[in-house]
Amino acid sequence: MSAPLHQAFIEAAVRFPDHTAVVEAGNGSISYAELDALSDRVRDLLVALGVTHGDRVGFYLRKCIDGVAGMYGILKAGAAYVPVDPGAPPARNAYIMHNCSVKVALVEAQLEARFRAELEALGAQVRVIVLPHVGGGRGLAAALDSAGVAPAARTVSPAADSLAYILYTSGSTGKPKGVMLSHGNAVSFVDWCSEVFEPTQEDRFSSHAPFHFDLSILDVHVSLKHGAALVLISEDTGKDPQRLAQLIAQEHVSIWYSAPSILSLVAQFGDLASRDCSALRTVLFAGEVFPVKHLRTLTELWPDRRYFNLYGPTETNVCTFYEIRLPVPEDRTAPYPIGEVCSHLSGRVVDETGKPIPDGEEGELCITGRGVMQGYWAMPEQTARAFYVDSDGIRWYRTGDVVVEDQPGCYTYRGRRDRMVKRRGYRVELGEIEAGLYQHGAVEEAAVIAVPDEEAGVRIIAFLSGRDGQRPSLIEMKRFCSERLPLYMIPDRFSWHDKLPKTSTDKIDYQRLKEMG
C-alpha cells in the first residue's frame, strides 16, 4: 500500500523538526514540529466531532499558516479537504460545501455570517469551526483552545484510492464541478516533482497560487515533503509585481511557481535589475501560454535559472513538462511546447472518435495513469464524458486540449478543442490569433473570442490591454495583423481595456469576455 499524502510531511517533521516549514510575511513562521503538532490538534478536534475516513472537510480561509495546518489536520483525520476561494461569493462557496456534503468547515470569522446564511438557505448541515482571526496559526490555535481539549486521535492512513482533496473548477453548466483527487493521484504527482525538480531541505518554495487552485498542490506538498520552507504570498502581494519581486529577494525564494501572467508583470515592472534574487534557481509556470516576448525579458533579467513550462488540467495536475533552453532566441515568437508526458502518466493524441491519429497531426491530448482524477463529484454523466475507454479497457482522460506531436514525444499546445472555430471554411485557432497580437509592441494582454454572427457566421473579437496605456488605432491593428495572419484570421473588432478581466486564479476570464462581446 502506498503512503498517504500527509505521510511525507509527518516524516519530514521527524527529520527536520526545527526547520521552518511555512513563512507568512508579516505574521511570522512555523517550524515543522510546530506545524505537525498544530495539525494533530486539528485532527483530534475533527475526530471528536465525528469526522472519519471518507468524509469531506471544507476550509474557507485566506492564505495563512492556519490554512496549511488545517489542511494537514483534515488529511490526518482521514478526510478529504475542500478548499474554497475566500474571494468568491459566499453563495458559491456554500453551494460547493453543500454539493460534496462536507461534515465540518473551518471558516474565518469575518466570512462566517454570510456563509452561514447561505448554508441555511440551502438547508446544508455543516458544522462550522470559526477561527476568530487568521495569521501565523494563532487564529486556528485560538479556535482549538476554545473548543476544549479533544482526546488524542490516531492519524489515519487512507488507501491510495481514498480522496485527498476536491478542487472545484468552473463547469460548463454554470455550476462549479468538484474534481476528485485521491491520495494515490496526489502522491504520484508529488513524487514526480521530487524526481524532476530535486528539491532539498535548503529550498524555499513560493506559494503564489491560492489553495483552491491546483498549482498549490505542488507548492505545499512538495515543499513540505522535503523539509523545505513554504513562503506564503498573500492575495494583495501576489498581484503587485513590485512587492512580489521584493518578496522573492527578501525571502530568498529558490523555487518559484505561478501562472505566467504574473511573471510577465514581474519581468516588466518588478525592477528586477536592482534586486538580489540570487537564491532563485528554478522557475515553474503553468496554467496558460507564456507570451514569448515576456518570457524572453524575464530570462534575460534572471539568467542562469532553470525554466519549466508545465501543463495539465486540474483533472490530472501537471501531465506534461518542457524545460526551456536559454537564451530565448531573439527571433522566436512561437510559444514553447508543453513538452513530454510526465513519467507517472501516459499520453496519446486522438481524433473525435478516440482513434489515435498519425504523428504530426493535430488531435486531442488524452492522459492515463496514476495521476488522473477519479471523476467529478456526484456527476456520473460528466465523468463518463470526460473519459474514453480504449479497446484494452484503459480509461483515458480527455483534456479537451488540441496538441500536435511535432517532435517524437514532445507536444505543442494548439488551443482548446472548444476554441477552434471555422471561418469562411477555414479552421481558425483563436490562440494563434492571440500569439500574433502579442507580437505588437503596444500589446500587454490579448484574448480572442469568437461570437456567432448572422451575417458572417462567426465574428472574431480581440480584447486587448495596451502597454503603458497605448491604444493603437483600428487601422494600425488591422495592418499589423494583415502582416502576420491570414486574412480570415484578422479580428473583426479590437476592444481595448485598461486590464482584461481575470478569474480568481488569475487567468484571463474568457467567460466574462464572452459576456462583454
Partner 1 sequence: MSEQVKRAVKDFILKEFLPGEDPANLTDDLPLITTGILDSIATLKLVLHLEEKYGITLEAHEADKEHLDTLDKITALVAGKMK
Q: In the complex, which residues of this chain contact partner 1 (CB under 8 A)?
A: 424, 455-456, 473-476, 478-479, 481-482, 487, 490, 492
Nearer to partner 1, 422 or 424 (CB): 424
492 C-beta neighbours (distance < 10 Å), count: 15
- Output the smallest distance, CB 431 to partner 1, in A: 19
DSSP 8-state secondary structure symbol assigned to residue 168:
E
- Please check whether residue 273 is in contact with residue 298, taking contact to mean a CB–CB distance below 8 angstroms: no
Torsion angle in degrees (nearest 10) through CA of 23, 240, 313, 494? 180
CA dist list (Å): 330 to 143, 285, 326, 441: 56, 21, 11, 14
- Please check whether residue 57 is in contact with residue 81, taking contact to mean a CB–CB distance below 8 angstroms: yes
- Output the smallest distance, CB 418 to partner 1, in A: 24
- Output the smallest distance, CB 516 to partner 1, in A: 17
Nearer to partner 1, 21 or 460 (CB): 460
CB < 8 Å & 24+ apart, contacts of 142-145:
143/106, 144/38, 144/41, 144/42, 144/45
Helix %, strand %, coil % of the chain (to 5) = 35, 30, 40
Straight-line distance from the first to the last Cα atom of the chain, in angstroms, rounded to the nearest whole number: 52
Nearer to partner 1, 133 or 478 (CB): 478
Determine the Cα angle at 407 with ends 420 and 419, to 5°: 10
Nearer to partner 1, 273 or 475 (CB): 475
- Output the smallest distance, CB 479 to partner 1, in A: 5
Nearer to partner 1, 236 or 455 (CB): 455
How far from the centroid of its chain's Cα atoms is residue 394's Cα? 27
- Cell 498549490, located at residue: 216
Q: How many residues does the chain have?
A: 517
- Output the smallest distance, CB 472 to partner 1, in A: 10
- Output the smallest distance, CB 477 to partner 1, in A: 9
- Output the smallest distance, CB 478 to partner 1, in A: 5
Nearer to partner 1, 384 or 456 (CB): 456
Pairing of strands 229-232, 204-207: parallel
Nearer to partner 1, 384 or 487 (CB): 487
